[in-house]
């Protein structure tokens, strides 16, 4: 399927890598769905940048029902199911000075990472699958990090 025929949903799509992915797909002609949880202003700016191709939805990817609703709304707006998902959402703060040191790290901090990265990706992929199956096409991209190869203290829960 050509990019200009695709509908691409990017979780955590309002800022950083997610916003760059949104812009790249939109420049190639794809219609894009910007998922955000807290970055509403940044998401709206992206919609303004690509008004004919972009829509933004607030949804916490760890909330299965919210994710299902986001996919339904995207299909209503564009008249077709999402063809490509990019799992990029992350519940994380890159502030090494404000993060727990290894010896103080709590299991709940690890669970928060798993909830967003693993459960969130599962929720998104499961919500996308029926539409992708129905049209006989689909792509899933999961964004990761190189910090597992080159760890940086104190990002223990992240890597």
Q: In which residue ranges of the chain is pLDDT below 50?
A: 159
Task: Give the whole-angstrom CA distance, residue 69 versus residue 121.
Answer: 15
Residues 6+ apart with CB under 8 A from 100: 106, 109, 154, 156, 157
For residue 100, what pLDDT is reported? Answer: 76
Residue with tokens 């991209």: 141
pLDDT score at 153: 57
Query: Residue 54's pLDDT is what?
Result: 99
Domains along the chain with CATH numbers? 3-142 (3.40.50.720)
Q: pTM of the full predicted structure?
A: 0.89
- pLDDT, tens only, 130-143: 999 999 999 999 99
- Measured distance CA(147)–CA(141) in Å, rounded: 18
Question: How confident is the model at residue 123, as a pLDDT?
Answer: 98
Q: Which two tokens stand for residue 112?
A: 């928060």
Alpha-carbon distance 123 to 61, whole Å?
7
Question: Rounded to whole angstroms, how far apart are CA atoms 16 and 111?
Answer: 23
């Amino acid at each position: 399927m050509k990019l200009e025929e695709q509908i691409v949903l990017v979780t955590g799509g309002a800022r950083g890598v997610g916003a760059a992915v949104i812009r790249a797909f939109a420049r190639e002609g794809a219609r894009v769905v910007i998922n955000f949880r807290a970055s509403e202003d940044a998401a709206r700016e992206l919609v303004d940048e690509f008004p004919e191709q972009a829509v933004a939805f607030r949804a916490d990817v760890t909330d299965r029902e919210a994710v299902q609703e986001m996919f339904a709304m995207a299909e209503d707006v564009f008249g077709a199911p999402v063809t490509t998902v990019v799992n990029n959402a992350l519940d994380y703060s890159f502030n090494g000075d404000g993060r727990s040191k290894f010896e103080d790290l709590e299991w709940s901090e690890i669970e928060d990472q798993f909830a967003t990265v693993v459960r969130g990706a599962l929720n998104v992929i499961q919500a996308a699958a029926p539409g992708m199956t129905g049209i006989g096409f689909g792509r899933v991209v999961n964004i990761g990090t190189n910090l597992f190869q080159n760890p940086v203290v104190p990002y223990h829960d992240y890597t």
